[in-house]
Amino acid sequence: MTAGLRLRVDPIACDGRGLCAELLPGLITLDDWGFPVPCEQDVPDALRREASAAVTACPRLALHLEPRS
């Protein structure tokens, strides 16, 4: 069992491009203005690879996968 990881959006860097919500539909939703809302739970182990790929894909480098603080 590895330590829990969560998705965090840097609100200043984020421009609401929405790529993350397309790549991780179960983990990130968009608010009424198109800005991402990551789910508050830990990323399930089975989706960790996809989550890392979304972090790398963010054109604003605004998505982070980090240990629960």
Partner 1 sequence: MNHPATSPRATGSPARLLPGDRVARPGTLAGHLARHGTRPDCAGGGRRREELIGEVERAGLAGRGGAAFPTAAKLRTLAAARPRPVVIANGVEGEPASDKDKMLLAVAPHLVLDGAVGAAELTGAGQVVIVAHHAVVPIVSRAAAERRRAGQDSVPVRVMTAAGSFIAGEASAVVNWVERGLATPTGRPPRLGGPGRRPALVQNVETLAHLALILRHGATWFTSAGTPDEPGSMLVTLLGAVRRPGVYEIGIGTPVSGLIELAGGTTAPLSALLIGGYFGTWAEPDAVLPLPFSSAGLAAAGASPGAGVVAALPSTACGLAETARITRYLAGSSAGQCGPCLFGLHAIAGQLDRLAAGTGCDLATVQRWLGDITGRGACRHPDGTALMVASALRVFRAEARLHSRGWCSGTGAAGILPVPGQARS
Please give the residue ranges that form the binding site for partner 1 (CB under 8 A): 10-12, 14-16, 31-35, 37
Which residue number, 1 or 12, has a Cβ lying nearer to partner 1?
12
Q: Which is nearer to partner 1, 2 or 31 (CB)?
A: 31
Across the chain, how many H-helices and E-strands are there? Answer: 2, 4
CB 57 within 8 A of CB 17: no
Q: How far is the CB of 23 from partner 1 (least distance, A)?
A: 18
Q: How far is CA 43 from the centre of its chain?
A: 9
DSSP helix/strand/coil, 22: helix
Q: Which residue's CB is nearer to partner 1, number 15 or number 45? A: 15
